[in-house]
Amino acid sequence: MKKIYLLICIVAGATLFVGFQQASKPSADALIAGLSKSTVASVADAVDQVVGKRGYMNHDMRPMVGMKFVGRALTALVKPATPEMSTPALSTKHSVEMIDNSKPGEVGVIVMDGPTDVAAIGGLMSTAAKARGMAGMVLDGGVRDLAEIRGLGLTVFARYVSPGTAVSRYASVANNIEVTCAGIRVRPGDIIVAGEDGVVVVPKEFEQAVLKRAQEIDDRETRMVPFIKQFKSLGQTIVKFNRI
């Protein structure tokens, strides 16, 4: 009887320990939810401090439709090509595969590696992305069919608007690989935080630390505002909170 009781205690203790271990590490959904509550600026500062290098994309990566999303990255790379290598099927092959294999809440990152001023996606690809439940798209290139995309409600960040097509100009190279988008490295699974202030990439190996630091920054700024209003001095506030 004592042996049975001891066995029950051991199993219960192990279960509690496993539960504690699981609870101590935020789930992927909790990370996304936490970063969604933070500001883009706070996340950018957190990446600076935790990773030790810039995580925000170039200033011309702007919201073209919609305003904010947070999700894990999927990637596709497209490069300039001759017309015979840039058929309708080949020009967007890997971008289409990326969208067709996406899961709800994921973010498509398409990099057009070249100078040609054309759109990376338009209405048809956006329709597919919306149907798959993607959180949004980030395009190191252009976007077209804005009215149609606006009607879909798909959030799209891009570097410019262009009516031009990739067909006869670009060929798809690969998907789900590391890319450089608007000056910042993006890998599949990295978290993309996008809003009116811009787009920040949170490397997946630093995501928990970045979330914690971003929350600390938000909390400090929340406490700074009443102090500024009370003492009518930004200088005193900076000294007290060591933050600007």
Quick: pLDDT tens for 137-180. 999 999 999 999 999 999 999 999 999 999 999 999 999 999 99
| Token digits of residue 131 | 């149907």
Could you give the residue ranges of the DSSP H alpha helices within the chain?
A: 2-24, 28-37, 40-51, 88-91, 93-100, 123-131, 146-152, 207-231, 234-241
Q: What is the pLDDT of residues 77-123, one digit of tens each?
A: 999 999 888 898 899 999 999 999 999 999 999 999 988 799 999 99
- CATH of 55-202, picked from 3.50.30.40, 3.40.120.10, 3.40.50.150, 3.30.390.50, is 3.50.30.40
The pairing of strands 184-186 and 179-181 is: antiparallel
Mean pLDDT of the chain: 86
Structure-token pair, residue 178: 């590391």
In the chain, where the domains are located: 55-202
- pLDDT at residue 239 is higher than 70: no
* pLDDT at 53 exceeding the cut of 60: yes
* CB of 208 closer than 8 Å to CB of 31: yes
pTM comes to 0.82
Determine the angle formed by the axes of helices 234-241 and 207-231, rounding to 10 degrees: 140
| Closest to 141 measured CA to CA, from 198, 65, 61, 81 | 61
Tell me how far the alpha carbon of residue 183 is from its chain's centroid.
14
Between CA 232 and CA 80 the distance in angstroms is 56
The CA distances from residue 243 to 42, 48, 92, 227, in Å, are 12, 14, 45, 13
| Percent of the chain's residues with pLDDT above 90 | 72
CB burial of residue 114 (10 Å; 0-12, 13-18, 19+): middle
pLDDT top residue among 3 and 208: 208
The pLDDT of residue 218: 84
Q: pLDDT value at position 101?
A: 97
Least confident of 23-37, 92-106, 122-136, 195-209: 23-37
Q: At a CB cut-off of 8 Å and minimum separation 6, what does 213 contact?
A: 45, 46, 49, 50
- 3 state SS of 109: strand
Query: For the residues 32-37, what does the mean pLDDT come to?
Result: 96
pLDDT at 199: 98
Report the DSSP beta bridge partners of residue 136: 107, 155
More confident residue, 241 or 81: 81
- Residue 142 tokens read as 């252009």
Would you state the structure tokens that stand for residue 215, as one six-digit string? 């929350």
pLDDT at 240: 56
Helix axes 207-231, 40-51, angle to 10 degrees: 120
